[in-house]
Amino acid sequence: MPHALPSPDLVVVHEEVREALAAGVGVVALESTILAHGLPHPDNVTVAAQIEDAVRAGGAVPATIALLDGVVHIGLGAREVERVCTDPDIAKLSVRDVGVAAALRLSGATTVASTSALAHLAGIRVFATGGLGGVHRGASETFDVSADLGVLASTPVLVVCAGVKSILDVAGTLETLETLSVPVLGFRTDAFPGFYLSDSGHEVPWRVETAADAARVVVTRDRLGTDAAGVVLANPLPADRQVDRELHDRLVTEGLALLEREGVHGKDVTPRLLEYFHDHSGGESLRANVELVLANARLAGEVAVEVAAQTA
Ligand code: PSU
Ligand code: MN
């Protein structure tokens, strides 16, 4: 495992996380972009704490990751979380941005791509988020494919997520994951979830029933050593907790039209859509988003505990 971390002027691992890793206790990485750019203020502050609690309820130690004043933090204290959630100027940093922002002594929130890369650097195997970035609709013309996918292809971290939003090209995202050799496991489901919806209408290639089996996939892939890709563990909202389909379809149509109208592109696409949903769903998108993130954090905690036990 990669334990030669860069020096502390560049990367600081929070004490509790460092001790957990040294003792072989399960650790779950958490991204900060969902806090800074995915959830509205001030809900993000409360939800950030709830996500960490959910990881602990699963038996593991949470490590929220962000760049603060040019230093990567693996694990944040309450005041640092507050800062990520409150600073309106905090940047959204994918992998390519982290080194640049660190050099310029800036602060930023990490995406799935950069969180996975930094988690791997610290020896963390399991990561929980809400939704994965993916292939955007119209990508054959715009080339808008999230860097999340490419990074997963070369970073051996298991990402627990509720699939991808239907604002994306879901079929194209699944095809790309196949091309990039990233395995996709449904947790107690045969259907790839669609974030707000339990079923995106597309199948998952594999299904697991327990956190122990998901962990065994990670450990077995390591032992085989055939490739260094990550694993997607797709955890759907229960059917009775998903967003009403009519509301969902209306929001997606309106949201996509809004992007067109405003000429939004690049890394602003996902945050702008999320903001639109939160403003126009009467609280439903926020409710579902929070529930699925907490469920993913809990499951990731359980998987991390199992990975630690099976590696011991
Ligand atoms: N999907 C969501 N909520 C999010 C994101 C994705 O449902 O907050 C964030 C994640 O941080 C993800 C990033 O890594 O957006 C992908 O952005 P882009 O499409 O610009 O790569
Ligand atoms: Mn993009």
Handedness of CA 38, 44, 49, 53 (dihedral sign): negative
Q: pLDDT tens digit string along 192-220? A: 999 999 999 999 999 999 999 999 999 99
Catalytic residue positions?
Answer: 31, 165
Residues lining ligand 2 (ion), CB within 5 A? 144
Least confident of 46-50, 204-208, 234-238, 263-267: 263-267
CA distance 243 to 305: 31
Q: How many CB atoms lie within 10 A of CB 243?
A: 22
Confidence of residue 312 (pLDDT cuts 50, 70, 90): confident
User: What's the mean pLDDT in 59-78?
Assistant: 98
Q: What residues are designated binding site for substrate?
A: 92, 112, 146-148
Q: What is the pLDDT, as a whole number, of residue 4?
A: 78
Where b means 16+ CB within 10 Å and e means fewer, 188-222 reads ebebbbbbbbbbbebebebebeebeebbbbbeebb
Which atom of ligand 1 is the closest one to the Cα of 165?
7
Give the distance (Å) from ligand 2 centre to CA of residue 65.
21
Q: Which of 111, 251, 275 to mutate to test the pocket of ligand 1 (most atoms within 8 A of CB)?
A: 111
The fraction of the chain above a pLDDT of 70, given in percent, is 99
What is the H or E stretch that residue 206 is in? strand 206-208
CA distance 120 to 11: 13
Q: Are strands 191-194 and 197-203 parallel, antiparallel or unpaired?
A: antiparallel
CA distance 33 to 114: 10
Q: pLDDT tens digit string along 166-196? A: 889 999 999 999 999 999 999 999 999 999 9
Q: What is the DSSP letter of 156?
A: -
Q: What is the distance of C-alpha 276 from the center of its chain?
A: 20
CA distance 252 to 284: 14
Question: Which CA distances in Å does 71 have to 54, 91, 99, 225, 267?
Answer: 26, 14, 10, 32, 22
The neighbouring-strand residues paired with 160 are 128, 233
Q: Residue 73: helix, strand or coil by DSSP?
A: strand
Q: pLDDT tens digit string along 79-132? A: 999 999 999 999 999 999 999 999 999 999 999 999 999 999 999 999 999 999
User: What's the mean pLDDT in 133-152?
Assistant: 96
CB 94 within 8 A of CB 267: yes
Which two structure tokens, joined as six digits, stand for 43?
């809900």
2 has a pLDDT exceeding 70: no
User: What's the mean pLDDT in 23-30?
Assistant: 97
Q: What is the pLDDT, as a whole number, of residue 301?
A: 98
282 has a pLDDT exceeding 80: yes
CB 149 within 8 A of CB 135: yes
210 CB contacts (<8 Å, ≥6 apart)? none
The neighbouring-strand residues paired with 126 are 28, 158
Ligand 1 atom 20: residue of nearest CA? 267
Predicted ipTM of the assembly = 0.98
Give the distance (Å) from ligand 1 centre to CA of residue 132.
6
Q: What is the pLDDT, as a whole number, of residue 3?
A: 58
45 has a pLDDT exceeding 60: yes
Average pLDDT, the chain: 96
